[in-house]
Amino acid sequence: MEKKYISIGKETLAYLDEGVGDVVLMIHGNMSSSVHYEPLISRIKDKYRCVALDLRGFGDSSDNERFDTLDELADDVALFIDALELGSVYLVGWSNGGGVSLKLCAKYPEKVKKLFDIEGAGLKGYPVYQKENYKSTGKPYASKEDMAKDPIQVAPALACFEKGDFATMTSIWDATIYTVNKPTREQNELWMAETLKQRNLVDLDWALANLNMSDEYTPYGKGDGTIHNIKCPVALTTAAKDIVVPDYMVMDNYNALGNLAILIPYENCGHSPMVDCPDRLAKDVVDFFTR
């Protein structure tokens, strides 16, 4: 699969475009890119046109402007949909891509038919709190610059990106993402190379920590209530062995979406169903979009 490129405003986004039929637009997570969707694309491209983009600052997309919120990434995706004249799409979001997808559904409901949210970020964000003796204080960081120094959640990964440290990044994924199955050596080499292209880790972590689509307060502030603007059906996976996105985050999304949402449980699965149960995932995606 070869990437294509299209300009949207001040950015140029790279993307994969495979298959024919109704469009399934795929939005990747943190520390990844469009290429991480290869196991899903290869299984459903005979039924759908699979379009997977690299978000701003990820993969081979440009990184001309910094961002503070997932709204800005959702705006990029909306411009991307318009530039490619995709119309209303079936949407797949994974991890942080689930958070961007929720924002897209809320801000641009006419652009999304249905959302399949794979171990997606919670509507009340993914907090990064100040640390004392490597323990969380529950206090928010006041700035991106302070958050960049976080000794557990941010600084170690940031160092990997700055050094292009393939081995350490692989060990991070093995410990946190691939808790059930491991990718092949060839897959890991390709995917880690894509991961290490990321240039916006601190912007993304800040945006995730400040995300709050609920009506409630978090230590980072009051929610904007935009979860209520979502009108399309949403499928939410909940993997029993996911140690990245805990079950309560998925349940928060499920409870907030009410009758719009269905839960799809995966028992022997971690944060990457693309690796742990790719055949089951592909079937569930097709079944949800065709029902």
Contacts of 224 (CB under 8 A, 6+ apart): 212, 213
Exposure b/e, 62-74, CB count within 10 A at least 16 = b: bbeeebeebbbbb
What is the chain's pLDDT, residue by residue, as a tens digit (291 residues)? 899 999 999 999 999 999 999 999 999 999 999 999 999 999 999 999 999 999 999 999 999 999 999 999 999 999 999 999 999 999 999 999 999 999 999 999 999 999 999 999 999 999 999 999 999 999 999 999 999 999 999 999 999 999 999 999 999 999 999 999 999 999 999 999 999 999 999 999 999 999 999 999 999 999 999 999 999 999 999 999 999 999 999 999 999 999 999 999 999 999 999 999 999 999 999 999 999
Q: What is the dihedral of CA 199, 200, 202, 206, to 10 degrees?
A: -170
How remote is the C-alpha of 188 from its chain's centroid?
A: 19
pTM higher than 0.85, yes or no? yes
How remote is the C-alpha of 113 from its chain's centroid?
A: 18
Predicted pLDDT of residue 287? 98
d(CA 141, CA 273): 32
Reference 173, options 237, 240, 243, 238; nearest CA is: 243
Predicted pLDDT of residue 1? 87
How remote is the C-alpha of 277 from its chain's centroid?
A: 18
When computed from its CA atoms, the radius of gyration of the chain, rounded to whole angstroms, is: 18
Reference 5, options 45, 50, 74, 51; nearest CA is: 51
Burial group, residue 219, by CB count within 10 angstroms (0-12, 13-18, 19+): middle
Cα angle 232, 235, 240 (rounded to 5 degrees) comes to 155
Domains and CATH numbers, the chain: 4-126+212-290 (3.40.50.1820)
Instruction: Judge whether 84 and 62 are in contact, CB under 8 Å.
Output: no
One-letter amino acid at 254 equals: Y
Predicted pLDDT of residue 113? 98
Instruction: Judge whether 264 and 235 are in contact, CB under 8 Å.
Output: yes
Q: Residue 261: which H helix or E strand, with range?
A: strand 261-266
